[in-house]
Amino acid sequence: MSAYPAETPSPTRATVPFSVIPKPAEVNLSGGTFPLTERTQVLVNPADPELLAIGQYLADHLRPATGYPFPVQAATGALPEGSILLTLSDSDPSLGEEGYELAITPNGVRLSAPHPAGLFWGVQTIRQLLPPSIESSAPQDGPWTLPTGSIRDWPRFAWRGMMLDVSRHFFGPQVIKHLIDLLAYYKMNRLHLHLSDDQGWRIMIHSWPDLARIGGSTQVGGGPGGYYSQEEYADIVAYAQNRYITVVPEIDMPGHTNAALASYAELNCDGVARPLYTGTEVGFSSLCLDKEITYRFVDDVVREIAARTPGPYFHIGGDEAMATPQSDYIAFIERVQGIVQSYGKQMIGWEEIGQAKLLPTSIVQLWHSAVAREAVRQGARVIMSPATRAYLDMKYTPETPLGLHWAGYIEVKDAYDWDPATLVEGIGESDILGVEAPLWTETIQTVADMEWMAFPRLIGIAEIGWSPAVGRDWEEYHLRLGRHSPRLAAMGVNFYRSPQVPWE
Ligand code: IFG
């Protein structure tokens, strides 16, 4: 039974109004406080490198604002008074891969989980139970107290993601790492990078170097574009992995391929390289499916990227292939599925791939129609990215200066007030891997643009992916979001202050 704490803090002690997002599954706070002090230690059990790293991550996020040292070390024997313990022992296996339990008393904090990922997500909850100023990078006044009580928490869906289109406009590794930091804070565990499209090829392929050199040389509007070296891509992947986030690379094909077709004449059916494209039309390009070189190209690209991708997924796009004959498209998808599988990865594709014969391990990403139902009938599982709810490039209102509106206007409430398991007839809870919010960047050029379109709608998607369906409603959420906003401000996030929310 989850009882929410009374909004008015107990008269004797200052506690922070409850503002954790995503909402934990079970919360029972008892009105007392646990103080962080300069003597507070972070203890881990077992003291293996992975848990010590999670302990350091917690300490790194508490030190700047408090100025306290927060030493991190192995838990041995009796716990010193006032310590924070992160432990895998005596944990509840029913919490699963990513669940955790938090027990806070006036004398100490015990964060336990059956697996390290659960400890990492529990650390995000600890951050959000402290005063918002804990997120400041400069020293702030305390007191730094946690509310006493217990939290048992675990995710509803395994897939809780964001997609960033780095093709229409390119964003360098530092921007991606900043985004990863924010995804971790909201317990999101997938970052899908849309690495190629008509306007830009964004990752070096050593066997086809002109894909990046030529295909990565521009972007929408004609700017300088850019691309990741394989070392930079590997660094992004490792940074995400250390935060329990799996990177999903996407090479969109057979459509959305003008950047590749501009880079190598031989990839074109007529043997003539296409001009680079800096506009925003879609559906005009296609690989030449009659030529064997196309499949060598696909094999080389998948092989090189898969080798740098420890995660199990490879996204092959497959959307808007209007310039590809349907029978050729289906044969192509089935052949590429075999190539992806040969490199040990599970194929993901936008919902159109449902026209092809899919392996049970293949995954479809629903975006704008119920074509995904075909795939579900074949036993494929679905990532829910409905353009009418989850497309972060949709304008909030007609007055929104950035973004598009072909799928409609998506205010903060529209992005939150829906459920993946009931949205589409014929697609139910057991067919759904989870949710993902794409940010297409035709009109997004800066980090400030990205943050303004993604926040706060992305936070609502994070809650849909994590929190129980029962008890999740806009009336409660929009008040909690308002109370949460000082945390976004403390992190310097340029978020949209929707008139629908009582911002603090
Ligand atoms: N649809 C295209 C994207 C992008 C988007 C902008 C998908 C799967 C419209 N494909 O969404 O490339 O242009 O909202």
Going by C-alpha positions, the residue among 417, 420, 400 that lies closest to residue 457 is 417
Q: Atom of ligand 1 at shortest distance to CA of 194?
A: 12
Query: Is residue 311 over pLDDT 70?
Result: yes
Atom 8, ligand 1: which residue's CA is nearest? 319
252 Cβ closer than 6 Å to some ligand 1 atom: no
Q: How far is the CA of 404 from the centre of ligand 1 (A)?
A: 10
Q: In this structure, are residues 123 and 51 in contact, taking their beta carbons and an 8 Å threshold?
A: no
pLDDT band at 16 (very low <50, low <70, confident <90, very high): confident
Q: Where in the chain is the domain with CATH 3.20.20.80?
A: 159-470+485-490
Distance 140 CA to ligand 1 centre (A): 43
| 456 contacts 185 by C-beta, under 8 angstroms | no
Q: Is 393 in the pocket of ligand 1 (CB under 6 A)?
A: yes
Beta bridge partners of 192: 163, 248
Residue 254, preceding bond cis, omega within 30 degrees?
yes
CA distance 305 to 75: 40
Q: pTM (2 decimals)?
A: 0.96
Share of the chain above pLDDT 70, in %: 97
Residue 12's pLDDT is what?
Answer: 41
Residues 126, 108: Cα–Cα separation, whole Å: 13
In the beta sheet, which residues pair with residue 346?
313
Whether the Cβ atoms of residue 226 and residue 202 lie closer than 8 Å to each other? yes
Give the C-alpha separation, 201 to 257, whole Å. Answer: 9
Whether the CB-CB separation of 88 and 116 falls below 8 Å is answered with yes
Q: Is the pLDDT of residue 7 over 90?
A: no
Which residue in 233, 161, 168, 237 sits closest to 196, CA to CA? 168
Which of 168, 202, 319 to probe ligand 1 with, by most ligand atoms within 8 A of CB?
Answer: 319
The pLDDT score that the predictor gives to residue 15 is: 66
Q: Is it true that the peptide bond before 132 is cis, omega within 30 degrees of 0? A: no
CA–centroid distance, residue 194 to ligand 1 (Å):
11
DSSP character at residue 285: -
**42 touches 86 (CB < 8 A):** yes
The widest CA-to-CA distance across the chain, in whole angstroms, is 79
Report phi then psi at 196, rounded to 5.
-150, 150
Ligand 1 atom with least separation from CA of 391: 14
- pLDDT band of 473, cuts 50, 70, 90: very high
Question: In this structure, is the dihedral angle defined by the CA atoms of residues 418, 424, 425 and 431, taken in order, positive or negative?
Answer: negative
Q: Is the CB–ligand 1 distance for residue 391 below 6 Å?
A: yes
Cα distances (Å, whole numbers) of residue 194 to 4, 315, 456, 501: 40, 9, 22, 31
Which atom from ligand 1 is nearest to the alpha carbon of 280? 13
351 lines ligand 1 (CB under 6 A): no
Q: Is 319 in the pocket of ligand 1 (CB under 6 A)?
A: yes
320 lines ligand 1 (CB under 6 A): yes
Q: How confident is the model at residue 1 (pLDDT cuts 50, 70, 90)?
A: very low
**DSSP-assigned states of every residue in 189-231:** -EEEEE-B-SS-B-B--TTSTHHHHTTTS--GGG-----B-HH
Determine the straight-line distance between the first and last CA of the chain, rounded to whole angstroms.
Answer: 29
Rounded (5°) CA angle 420-458-171 = 125
DSSP annotation of 115 reads: S
Is the CB of 367 inside a 6 Å radius of any atom of ligand 1?
yes
Residue 2 has pLDDT above 50, yes or no: no
Class for the domain spanning 26-153 = alpha beta
From 164, 320, 383, the mutation candidate for ligand 1 (largest count of ligand atoms within 8 A of CB) is 320
Which residues, including other chains, have CB under 8 Å from residue 60's CB and lie 6 or more apart?
Answer: none
What Cα–Cα distance (Å) separates residue 315 from each residue in 108, 196, 205, 363, 492?
A: 45, 11, 16, 9, 32
Residues 6+ apart with CB under 8 A from 331: 289
Q: Is 142 a residue whose pLDDT tops 70?
A: yes
Q: In the numeric block, which tokens belong to residue 125? A: 């909850």
Phi, psi values for residue 87, rounded to 5°:
-140, 145
CB 250 within 8 A of CB 223: no
**281 has pLDDT over 60:** yes
Ligand 1 centre distance from Cα of residue 440 (Å): 7
Question: Is residue 320 flagged as an active site residue?
Answer: yes
Q: How far is the CA of 334 from the centre of ligand 1 (A)?
A: 22
Q: What is the pLDDT of residues 92-140, one digit of tens each?
A: 999 999 999 999 999 999 999 999 999 999 999 999 999 999 999 999 9
Task: Indicate which atom in ligand 1 lies nearest the CA of residue 319.
Answer: 8
Type of residue numbered 491: M
CA dist., res. 199 & res. 218, Å (int): 7
Of 169, 280, 351, 440, the one to substitute when testing ligand 1's pocket (max ligand atoms within 8 A of C-beta) is: 440
Task: Check pocket membership of 297 for ligand 1, CB cut-off 6 A.
Answer: no
The reply to whether ligand 1 has any atom less than 6 angstroms from the CB of 198 is: no
CA–centroid distance, 435 to ligand 1, in Å, is: 17
Q: Give, for 480, the enclosing helix (H) or strand (E).
A: helix 474-490
**pLDDT average, residue stretch 206-219:** 98
State the DSSP code for 79: P
Question: Which fold would CATH assign to domain 159-470+485-490?
Answer: TIM Barrel (3.20.20)
Q: What is the pLDDT of residue 17?
A: 86
Tokens of 93: 């296996």
Contact 297, 208 (CB under 8 A): yes
What pLDDT shows up at residue 6?
Answer: 44
CA 32 to ligand 1 centroid distance, Å:
49
Strands 145-153 and 100-105: antiparallel
Say which of 304, 320, 351, 436 is annotated catalytic: 320
Q: Where are the alpha helices (DSSP H) in 201-353?
A: 210-213, 230-241, 258-263, 292-307, 326-342
How many angstroms separate the CA atoms of 208 and 483, rounded?
Answer: 51
Using the mean position of ligand 1's atoms as its centre, give its distance from the Cα of residue 190 in Å. 19
- 223-270 per-position pLDDT tens digit: 999 999 999 999 999 999 999 999 999 999 999 999 999 999 999 999
Which has the closest alpha carbon to 133: 66, 82, 54, 68? 66
196 touches ligand 1 (CB under 6 Å): no
- Ligand 1 center–CA 374 separation, angstroms: 20
Where in the chain is CATH 3.30.379.10?
26-153
Of ligand 1's listed atoms, the one at least distance from the Cα of 256 is 12
Q: How many whole angstroms from its chain centre is CA 295?
A: 31
